[in-house]
Structure 1
Amino acid sequence: MPTPQSRRERPAKPALTREGIIDAAVLLMEQDGLQRVTMRRLAQALDTGPASLYVYVANTAELHAAILDRLLGRVDLNPDPGADWRERLDTVLASYEQVLFAHPTLAQAALTARAAGENYLALLESLLSLLAEGGVPDRQAAWGVDLMLQLSTSSAAEHSAQREDSNAERDWIQLRHALVTASPETLPHVRAQADNLIAGAPAERRRWRVDTLLGGILATEPPAR
């Protein structure tokens, strides 16, 4: 029978830090999904008590926002400098969507999470600098970035959820059938536009969305202060 080990003989646990807590939270999220990242579960992973974590993170919402910000560090903010500013803007947004798409539960949470860390600020700086290069006025650029990120986040959340849904292919077939068999008497426009409603690869739709948003942002001033 092995001799019981005294607590004094055990290796000392690494000191808790905010960075170490977020590192562990990201690992837990990538293993089990964001919904499993709670203060209690994280404390177990770190071999400590939940109360110890609250010294560094105020609550679960702040923890999830910190996880989001950490992963935003993976967004490509250095697109090809030889490309047009619109192309580079599309590249940054595509990379942002891909980071969220790779983590379905995070994509859903990003719809409401309030990230405010250095990586989120770096993303804002990149987008604002590209819009400034394109001659977009400051206030229109500031409001426009918010709209772009909202739509990109929604798109990533939708497509990542569909990827995880075992019924997604069946639902897509049912939708297409409903569109192409819609009554030409009561739903003439739906029937006529059935193919157009579901046409286009995701990348094509994203680029069209970016171009459409830019057109509106350039043409529309925010309300007067």
Structure 2
Amino acid sequence: MAATREPISRRERPAKPALTRRGIVDTAVRIMRSDGLDKVTMRRLAQELDTGPASLYVYVANTAELHGAVLDALLGEVDLAAEEAGAGWREQLVQVLTSYTFVLFEHPRLARSALVAHPGGENYLNLVERVLGLLSRGGVPVGQAAWGVDTLLQYATATAAEHGTREQDPAAQDDWDALTRAVHDADEATHPAIRAHLPALLAGPDESRLTWGFDVLINGIIHTPAPLEG
């Protein structure tokens, strides 16, 4: 005869940890790292935290806000102190922006999400503060710096979203090869500008293009007054 299992009183079970926004976000980050952003849902979080989905909405309004909080947590990995010996403010700014881009390279779904929704947490504010501080150190007027930080981060985010998506797409190389053939086969009579700009049109490593793009934007921010209303 099988032994009867002794029931465990609820009083003897260990109490569940109290829910907190930080705990929810940390769990979401762990899920994303192991299973990808697609698995970061309220239902999955509720399972991991042994609670009901409705309980989570007290701390996070919706999935979009959750993804923003996850992105902000990852932005803690950005090297805001990036500084080479003797580097000027521009070099430091490019280093910070490159570090931000490389963090997003690892998470293209989050990069695409960041294109339409800023995270708005402490790490994001620290990034904006650092970029504004470096622009100010370079003597960039307040209005140009204020608008410029948005342009710089948008460029970095879009680059990361595109690069990361290509890296995860099995057909990406085939698509690139097809584009390369199409450009090289372009008829000079109908597409003279394309022919005139080969091979430079497709040349250069991604990192060089990224740095060049930052330099172009920084030059534009420095020399283009922002039409802010008084």
Q: CA deviation at 1:83?
A: 0.9
Supply the AA of the counterpart residue of 2:76: G
Residue-pair matches, total: 225
Mapping 1:64-213, distance limit 5 Å = 64-80=67-83, 82-213=86-217
Structure 2 residue 52 is matched with structure 1 residue 49: yes
Determine which of 16, 23, 29 is the counterpart of 1:13. 16
- Structure 1 stretches of 4+ moved >2 Å: 1-10
Residues 31 and 2 from structure 1, CA distance in 2 versus in 1: closer, same or farther, beyond 3 angstroms? Answer: farther
TM-score by length of 2: 0.93
TM-score by length of 1: 0.95
* SS, match of residue 194 in structure 1: coil
Distance 2:61 2:209 in 1: 39
In 2, are the aligned partners of 1:100 and 1:153 still within 8 Å (CA)?
Answer: yes
- In the alignment, which residue of structure 2 is the partner of 1:30? 33
* SS, match of residue 140 in structure 1: helix
In 1, are the aligned partners of 2:32 and 2:40 still within 8 Å (CA)?
Answer: yes
Greater shift after overlay, 153-162 or 4-13? 4-13
Supply the AA of the counterpart residue of 2:175: D
User: Identity of counterpart residues, as a percentage?
Assistant: 57
Structure 2 residue 66 is matched with structure 1 residue 63: yes
Q: CA deviation at 1:2?
A: 7.5
In 1, are the aligned partners of 2:143 and 2:228 still within 8 Å (CA)?
Answer: no
Unaligned 5+ segments in structure 2 are none
Supply the AA of the counterpart residue of 1:128: L
Supply the AA of the counterpart residue of 2:216: T
Q: CA deviation at 1:40?
A: 1.3
- In the alignment, which residue of structure 1 is the partner of 2:221? 217
In 2, are the aligned partners of 1:176 and 1:194 still within 8 Å (CA)?
Answer: no
Q: CA deviation at 1:112?
A: 1.4
In 2, are the aligned partners of 1:101 and 1:156 still within 8 Å (CA)?
Answer: yes
Distance 1:85 1:114 in 2: 25
Q: CA deviation at 1:105?
A: 1.4
Greater shift after overlay, 1-10 or 72-81? 1-10
Q: CA deviation at 1:224?
A: 3.7
Aligned alpha-carbon RMSD (Å): 1.4
Supply the AA of the counterpart residue of 2:56: L
Distance 2:52 2:211 in 1: 47
